[in-house]
A and B are shown apart, each in its own frame.
Chain A
């Protein structure tokens, strides 16, 4: 665990931004003597270590230097100062299928791509069947890849990349590939990687995966490390700073969105009791009431209620579109009731967030982070660990 596999040591990378891009000899000669470029510092004095077996996250805004860092770690860009030291066999997935040739068959491309990723001939030959099986493209492997759908293309590329058998895997935000089945298989592969004690560096702005998968993370801001450590705290701090325009409400909750339609408050009731509660038991019939205000008529809004466990994992996130409840237009004040009979949540503390979006989930009217917090106490059924009960029935047969 203590073995350092990746050392990023005072890494600095600057780019020249040409005011007039001199891509021809004439321009370059004409511009001689006058330095017509600005220096842009993409990374400044970035230092961190990644230990064997860790899942390490790198988060940051667009333009924070994530990609540059990734390319420096992968050895694609040469840093201006400082160094990157890699002590294990590394594979960096920046883009899937880079180097695939459309006219060549899947089989030929597997060999070529694996070689580009640094595999020897014998290794590829022994792993070939595994690669093809993982991609699920046995039937098409002798077709030219130009006939593949984009999903098939990416699946094959990912299968090659993951089977290079690295001890250190550096991944860009390429994980959202393929259909659901394939994504599940990828996730399983990552878990397998982690359980094998391999090291994964994840460069992303998908905060959920950092929070759920990573052991440690760094936060890059304008090319500098702003924070390093526990991913949950880091993600929280990052989210805070990212939503600079957010208003803090008096209850400690935070809000973002365009604001035409807002959730003012969330209340919870148990059974028919008209007084709101902050605490209930497993097995209670719980009603969540979302009070909203629309400052103007909003067509076809979508309401979501997100219930997170205290650790950050989302337990449930019902959305009104999923049940087909889409009002044509919403204006003025009102409320929405969401009833959860015989609630399955196990004892613990939970956070409630709400979101209001347009029908295509492209526009956010309102997002109220931490709209409410509630506690669940021991009720029926009871399980000592986990977040929810699936109401198991036990049978014990002897003989």
Chain B
């Protein structure tokens, strides 16, 4: 239903996404550099904490043999940021689209899709920079970019589903906006971004949660192909597909049900 409308008005979707990308860094001197600076800063902070404060050994990639915490960290951070920023911005975009929603008939889900697409483009740019860094660090990631793209596409479906759900709910209860802020923080630490989910020193139950939570399984898979240079197992792929399809289906269902009431609720 909503996918069909997305195809029918793909021009609108394209232009809305373009608007997201064009307006994000308007009036800033550094422009798009900001999009790279944010993850780089986080990388510096966590590298110092991990390596110098807590004095941990960087996880080793199998079979790649790479041993580099900043790169390990970025392989997890970039997809996670894509997910959490997309959902956060989508919530705000639907809420901020009230003027439009109340005055024009158009497919509301485009307000969410356009954000996810714009964030996806941003993430691709970030990943190309990271790929160069990985190659310099000794990981020949070029052939692995194909499975990476497949994983990211599924992650996009998952992200879209979550974003649709939260953005729609937020129209009715603005708490959702704040709730997401806290949830995103919780997820950041529950997901193996600053640590390795395979580290045997972590209790087994926590490891299971970290590796198999929705965000955890995506990040683990991304790290498999980019850091370890190995294919995720078929089981891992199955989990990813189930997560993404069910999240997308649920989000679409919720959004389609709630969006006709947006105009009067806003």
- Residues of chain A having any CB pair with chain B under 8 Å: 15, 23-26, 28, 71, 74-78, 92, 94-95, 98-99, 101, 103-104, 108, 111-112, 115-121, 124
A75 CB → nearest B CB, Å: 4
- Can you add 13 more A-B contacts, CB < 8 Å, to A76-B103, A108-B18, A119-B11? A23-B173, A25-B173, A76-B101, A76-B102, A77-B263, A78-B261, A94-B104, A112-B16, A115-B15, A115-B16, A117-B104, A118-B9, A118-B106
Q: Which of A24, A74, A94 contacts B175 (CB 8 A)?
A: A24
Q: Given A103-B26, A112-B19, A115-B11, check contact A94 B263 (CB 8 Å).
A: no
Q: Mark B1-41, 1 if CB is under 8 A from A, else 0.
A: 00000000101101110110011001100000000000000
Kindly list chain B residues whose C-beta atoms are within 8 Å of the C-beta of A104: 19, 22-23
Q: Given A104-B22, A104-B23, A116-B106, check contact A24 B12 (CB 8 Å).
A: no
B104:A108 contact, CB within 8 angstroms: no
B260:A78 contact, CB within 8 angstroms: yes
Please list 13 pairs of residues, one from A and one from B, whose beta carbons are closer than 8 Å in the complex, sorted by A's number: A25-B173, A25-B175, A76-B101, A76-B263, A77-B263, A94-B104, A95-B103, A95-B104, A98-B103, A99-B104, A118-B9, A118-B12, A124-B11
A65 CB → nearest B CB, Å: 14
A38 CB → nearest B CB, Å: 15
A98:B99 contact, CB within 8 angstroms: yes
Q: Is the interface of B mostly helix, strand, loop or mixed?
A: helix
For residue B204, CB closer than 8 A to chain A, the reply is no
B23:A71 contact, CB within 8 angstroms: no
- Docked Cα-Cα span, A96 to B22, in Å, equals 23
With CB as the reference atom, state the residue of chain B lying closest to A119: B11
A94:B103 contact, CB within 8 angstroms: yes
In chain B, residues 45-81, which have Cβ atoms closer than 8 Å to a Cβ of chain A?
Answer: none
Kindly list chain A residues whose C-beta atoms are within 8 Å of the C-beta of B9: 115, 118
- Docked Cα-Cα span, A119 to B102, in Å, equals 19
Q: Which of B22, B101, B263 contacts A108 (CB 8 A)?
A: B22
Report the contact-size class of chain B (Cβ under 8 Å from the partner): 20 to 34
- The 6 A-B residue pairs whose C-beta atoms are closest, nearest first, are A98-B103, A115-B12, A75-B105, A95-B103, A121-B11, A103-B26
Kindly list chain A residues whose C-beta atoms are within 8 Å of the C-beta of B175: 24-26
For residue B132, CB closer than 8 A to chain A, the reply is no
- Docked Cα-Cα span, A104 to B22, in Å, equals 8
Q: Which of B105, B260, B263 contacts A92 (CB 8 A)?
A: B105
Q: Is the interface of A mostly helix, strand, loop or mixed?
A: loop
With CB as the reference atom, state the residue of chain B lying closest to A71: B263
- Docked Cα-Cα span, A331 to B18, in Å, equals 66
Kindly list chain A residues whose C-beta atoms are within 8 Å of the C-beta of B260: 78
- Docked Cα-Cα span, A17 to B117, in Å, equals 37
Kindly list chain B residues whose C-beta atoms are within 8 Å of the C-beta of A121: 11, 14
With CB as the reference atom, state the residue of chain B lying closest to A103: B26
- Docked Cα-Cα span, A95 to B173, in Å, equals 26
- Docked Cα-Cα span, A217 to B141, in Å, equals 69
A137 CB → nearest B CB, Å: 19
Q: Which of A25, A26, A77, A103 contacts B264 (CB 8 A)?
A: A77
Q: Which of B16, B104, B174 contacts A76 (CB 8 A)?
A: B104
Q: Given A78-B261, A99-B99, check contact A112 B104 (CB 8 Å).
A: no
- Docked Cα-Cα span, A298 to B19, in Å, equals 57
- Docked Cα-Cα span, A366 to B58, in Å, equals 88
The number of A-B residue pairs with CB atoms under 8 Å apart is: 73
In chain B, residues 72-119, which have Cβ atoms closer than 8 Å to a Cβ of chain A?
Answer: 99-106
B244 CB → nearest A CB, Å: 27
Q: Which of B12, B104, B174 contacts A23 (CB 8 A)?
A: B174
B137 CB → nearest A CB, Å: 38
Kindly list chain B residues whose C-beta atoms are within 8 Å of the C-beta of A98: 99-100, 103-104
Kindly list chain B residues whose C-beta atoms are within 8 Å of the C-beta of A75: 105
Q: Given A71-B263, A98-B100, A115-B9, check contact A76 B19 (CB 8 Å).
A: no
B173:A28 contact, CB within 8 angstroms: yes
B126 CB → nearest A CB, Å: 23
Kindly list chain B residues whose C-beta atoms are within 8 Å of the C-beta of A115: 9, 11-12, 15-16
A15:B12 contact, CB within 8 angstroms: no
- Docked Cα-Cα span, A124 to B9, in Å, equals 13
- Docked Cα-Cα span, A95 to B101, in Å, equals 11
- Docked Cα-Cα span, A104 to B21, in Å, equals 11
A24:B99 contact, CB within 8 angstroms: no
B142 CB → nearest A CB, Å: 34
A103:B99 contact, CB within 8 angstroms: no
- Docked Cα-Cα span, A28 to B102, in Å, equals 23
- Docked Cα-Cα span, A25 to B19, in Å, equals 32
Kindly list chain B residues whose C-beta atoms are within 8 Å of the C-beta of A116: 12, 100, 104, 106
- Docked Cα-Cα span, A28 to B176, in Å, equals 13
Kindly list chain A residues whose C-beta atoms are within 8 Å of the C-beta of B263: 71, 76-77
Q: Given A78-B260, A118-B106, A121-B11, check contact A101 B173 (CB 8 Å).
A: no
With CB as the reference atom, state the residue of chain A lying closest to B11: A121
- Docked Cα-Cα span, A26 to B175, in Å, equals 9
B41 CB → nearest A CB, Å: 25
With CB as the reference atom, state the residue of chain B lying closest to A15: B264
Q: Mark B241-266, 1 if CB is under 8 A from A, else 0.
A: 00000000000000000001101100
Q: Which of A26, A78, A103 contacts B23 (CB 8 A)?
A: A103
With CB as the reference atom, state the residue of chain A lying closest to B99: A98
Kindly list chain B residues whose C-beta atoms are within 8 Å of the C-beta of A92: 104-105
With CB as the reference atom, state the residue of chain A lying closest to B23: A103
A79 CB → nearest B CB, Å: 10
Q: Mark B186-213, 1 if CB is under 8 A from A, else 0.
A: 0000000000000000000000000000
Q: Which of B11, B19, B101 contacts A101 (CB 8 A)?
A: B19
A99:B105 contact, CB within 8 angstroms: no
- Docked Cα-Cα span, A23 to B260, in Å, equals 18
A76:B105 contact, CB within 8 angstroms: yes
